[in-house]
Amino acid sequence: MSASTEPRHEPARRIQYAFTDEQEQFRAALRRFLTDKSPTTEVRRLMATAEGYDPAVWRQLSDELALPGVHIAEKYGGAGFGMVELCIVTEELGRALLCAPYFSTAVLAANAILNAGSETQKKSLLPDLASGKRLAALAITEINGNWDPSAIELTATPEGGGYRLNGTKSYVVDGQVANLLVVAARLPASDERLAIFTLDASWPGVERRLLDSMDPTRKIARIDFRGARADLLGSVDGGARAIARTMDQAAIALANEMMGGAQVMLDSAVAYSKMRVQFGRPIGSFQAIKHKLADMLLDVELGKSAAYYAAQTAATEDREWPAMASLAKAAATETYLRTALDCIQLHGGIGFTWDNDTHLWFKRAKSSEAFLGDANYHRELLMQRWGV
């Protein structure tokens, strides 16, 4: 199906613990598409390129499935669904390990624009993102690697009607291919408030460098801004809140993406355990293996429950949703990594080879561990958000 031809849904007002039939159909269609377009042979081909994605597949997932705008309102050119559908998409992408600038464009940049932009800016910026015409990246974190917005140092100095950006952003997902950059910056010393700015990546004063990322399926860049001209997104007053909202939404989308990957690791471990024979019997008949797999299943189901619940709270604007973002990210971080490690272990020597696919997901688990803040960081945030 195409998301844009489905009937519109009123945002659910209550937390749902089961996906609707429409959501399940959407997931199934998406999974078919991804099985076809993102086999690991393709993942391996694309991860070795500098751009890191296939423009033809990107066009298809934009034109046929309307994925980049799945959560963007129709008046801004999107499909009009919400956070739950966005998270279904990221879960499936995480499962297929699709190499594409989706998380950067749809999850990070588009949400930042939705959260911070004025009505006019949303109308001018979002349709091109929703249609997949333009790629965008969100630059928040700097060389210090601190995901807390309080650590932002890059400055935005007012000049004429606009601003000039000075400083360096790092760990910018898909920063090297983005056409549009969305940048969190701090006003000069007399003010120090945070705000979000947009600029075209091709404008003068922007210098981008692709970093060697351990997870080659997720490209990251360092970007120097030397007096680059940029436009303020929305108002300065709303900046800090918009950044926080965007980061929390991203944490939830990432948690779902991670659980998609964790499920693959579990399924792969189970399948291999049924097939591999040692001592005259399948290794899956050894209790040490069975019990480990049962624990992995429990772990994955618990992590999925947290990720799904967090998406529901965000979709319904539940009071608890920022706390749930941290909860889900912390849970997914531990689970994905543990499941990937166990999957390697259950494969024995072959699990440590380059040719075996397990390490592709393991590396995604690793990069996701630090991305947007690690488990310790989010557990502490959870405690603060719960008022402990």
CB of 140 to another protein, least distance (A): 23
Closer of 20 and 144 to another protein (Cβ): 20
Closer of 130 and 311 to another protein (Cβ): 311
Closer of 196 and 266 to another protein (Cβ): 266
CB of 259 to another protein, least distance (A): 11
Which pair of tokens denotes residue 276? 């591999």
Closer of 106 and 300 to another protein (Cβ): 300
Q: How many helices (H) and strands (E) does the chain have?
A: 12, 9
Rounded Cα gap, residues 60 and 70, in angstroms: 14
Region of residue 234 (left: phi > 0; alpha: psi -120 to 50; beta: else) = left
CB of 342 to another protein, least distance (A): 13
Closer of 111 and 333 to another protein (Cβ): 333
Contacts with another protein, residue ranges (CB under 8 A): 16-18, 270, 273-274, 281-282, 284-285, 287, 289-291, 293-295, 297-298, 301-303, 305-306, 308-309, 327, 330-331, 376, 379-380, 382-383, 386, 388
Closer of 148 and 231 to another protein (Cβ): 148
Give me the residues paired with residue 222 across strands: 209
Nearest to 134 by CA among 81, 202, 50, 183: 202
DSSP states along 369-385 = HHTT--HHHHHHHHHHH
Rounded Cα gap, residues 320 and 386, in angstroms: 9
CB of 44 to another protein, least distance (A): 28
CB of 303 to another protein, least distance (A): 7
CB of 22 to another protein, least distance (A): 13
Give me the residues paired with residue 139 across strands: 183
Strand ranges inside 80-219, DSSP E: 136-139, 155-159, 162-173, 180-186, 194-200, 206-210
